[in-house]
Amino acid sequence: MYLAWYDPDRKRALHLKLDDACAAYTEKFGHEPSLVLLCQGDLDELKRDRLQARVELKAVPFLSRNTFYVGLISNIAAAEQGSAAA
């Protein structure tokens, strides 16, 4: 299960948006996330700014800028196992 988070505010720094998304996930599900899916452009920006995230970041082609899917690494493993079984 993922929490989808979108923040189009151009005045807020990307790392603050990421922090907000992770905090919302923790509040909703009662534990911290371990994975955030985001677009390649946002990942590149975070790397360029040399910001360290508390979670693993993974770029995916289907998300647009300022959009985060926040979840757990186990979600990816379960999805990969499901597609391998099909």
Tell me the pLDDT tens digit for each residue of 31-41: 999 999 999 99
Q: What percent of the chain has pLDDT over 70?
A: 83
pLDDT digits (tens, 9 = 90+) for 65-86: 999 999 998 866 555 554 455 5
Compute the average pLDDT of residues 51-61.
86
Strand order, beta sheet including 35-38: 3-6, 67-71, 35-38, 56-59
Q: How many domains does the chain have?
A: 1
Average pLDDT value over all residues in the chain: 87
Say if strands 56-59 and 35-38 run parallel, antiparallel, or are unpaired: parallel
Q: Which residues contact 43 (CB under 8 A, 6 or more apart)?
A: 57, 58, 59
80 lies in which domain range?
3-85
